[in-house]
A and B are shown apart, each in its own frame.
Chain A
């Protein structure tokens, strides 16, 4: 009985969060339409897609759906509500608080982060200057990704990351897309930063280099996700400069960053390791062998940078642990 009440309250809280932080920017008709979608669907809502002159669509864990005039979710797009380009302009103007000039950097990068950590992807016609993107004009679509924290999702793997009650292992989390890598990193940051009572682990200083603003989802510089009391975040900063700055200015015990594998990431990570600071990061891949095909990650593997490899997939929902390996012995610790 209690958990039913609890989960109903949580659902309502979630819905209110989305209403206040996302739907209020939409034009009235779209706002009301989405607002009236049945609450059970709302609870698992992941994306709202506005495409000019195309039907309104929403997405959850079960796939994507059209929204019809009566706010019903359907797989058929005949009676569905069309989104006008004007709606998209208005939404973007509203989201940038009528001050589009203040968001030109974000628009250039293709996304705006809203209060609450929700992320709005923007696409359309780009305006180039010297081969770099100066602006996106004639926006043709918005992809609103609803952010959700999953507190406690790293409980099962945190013990592989802790060495003892003061020390941790350098860890690489490997998984294909949409399997919860970033959500895991978020939760790990929080646990390490706040400390884990049950394991007598005192909190440590965590530095997050959040190149794509996904881990912390900062709004006006403040993380919209709870990353822990001893955590400092560099938002939107490229990894090499970010690591450098973090090491020099925030004296972290561990640095957490997302998605290594791009050019320059080897240098960035080595900087951290050479400074005696721990590192926890993630990389795309289905397994460790696949990673070896990527040069930057291969070099890190060869240098024995990491002590732990954790492979995730979504066989049992996002965040399922497939394998945990001790990097030095390559012995499987869990399967």
Chain B
């Protein structure tokens, strides 16, 4: 009897935590999208005010952030410095593809990022700034969709966790 009690408690606690974890995960994507926009804004400052090169600017940026999205910038900077990629666009695309899995961004987000890379370093300063602003606008839209998703799902996951655990206990025990 006592064993059954401990067992059921364990099941409820585990699935409760699972629910909480999934619920938190919902919040990761909008946060990362916000952080991306921040990093892009910082990039705009670096190039318009300080006229820094892409490798230097990205390197600086990635030191300022703790988000997993900073890897895109860090990797691009490394790719350029090591001379592996001929153009900034190639360096960025390679960096995005390599570090994408570590983030919680989805396929649409990835497309926005890759199209940002196409104009990176390939135009004058006005062109660069327009590119940055356009990408930020697109990311903002994605962020809003992600927020909606989060609101819908985080409560759901939390409750599902607890209730699921309870259901399991009832069925098994």
Contacts and interface: CB of A to CB of B under 8 A. Distances in A.
A102 interface: yes
Interface in B42-61: 47, 51-55
A98 B51 CA distance: 13
Interface of B: 47, 51-55, 80, 86-88, 91, 121-125, 127-128
A98 B88 contact: yes
Nearest to B87: A98
B55 A97 contact: yes
A104 B121 CA distance: 12
B54 A99 contact: yes
B55 A102 contact: no
Interface of A: 90, 93-94, 96-102, 104, 135
A99 B124 contact: no
Nearest to B52: A102
Contacts of A93: 86-87
B43 to A, nearest CB: 11
Contacts of B128: 101
Contact of A99 (B53, B86, B127): B53
Contacts of B124: 100-101, 104, 135
Given A99-B47, A135-B124, 12 more contacts: A96-B53, A97-B55, A98-B54, A98-B121, A99-B54, A99-B55, A100-B121, A100-B122, A101-B121, A101-B127, A102-B47, A102-B52
B125 A99 contact: no
Contacts of B87: 93, 98
Nearest to A134: B124
Nearest to B83: A24
A100 B127 CA distance: 11
Nearest to A105: B51
Contacts of A98: 53-55, 80, 87-88, 91, 121
Contact of A101 (B86, B91, B125): B125
A98 B53 CA distance: 8
Nearest to A99: B53
A99 B123 contact: no
Contacts of A90: 86
Contact of A97 (B53, B122, B125, B127): B53
Nearest to A93: B87
A307 B109 CA distance: 71
Contacts of A102: 47, 51-53
A217 B143 CA distance: 47
A102 B124 CA distance: 8
Contacts of B121: 98-101
Contacts of B86: 90, 93-94
A176 B26 CA distance: 74
Contacts of A94: 86
23 contacts: A93-B87, A96-B53, A97-B53, A97-B55, A97-B80, A98-B53, A98-B54, A98-B55, A98-B80, A98-B88, A98-B91, A99-B52, A99-B53, A99-B121, A100-B123, A100-B124, A101-B47, A101-B51, A101-B123, A101-B128, A102-B47, A102-B51, A104-B124
Nearest to B76: A98
A256 to B, nearest CB: 27
A96 B86 CA distance: 12
A195 B51 CA distance: 37
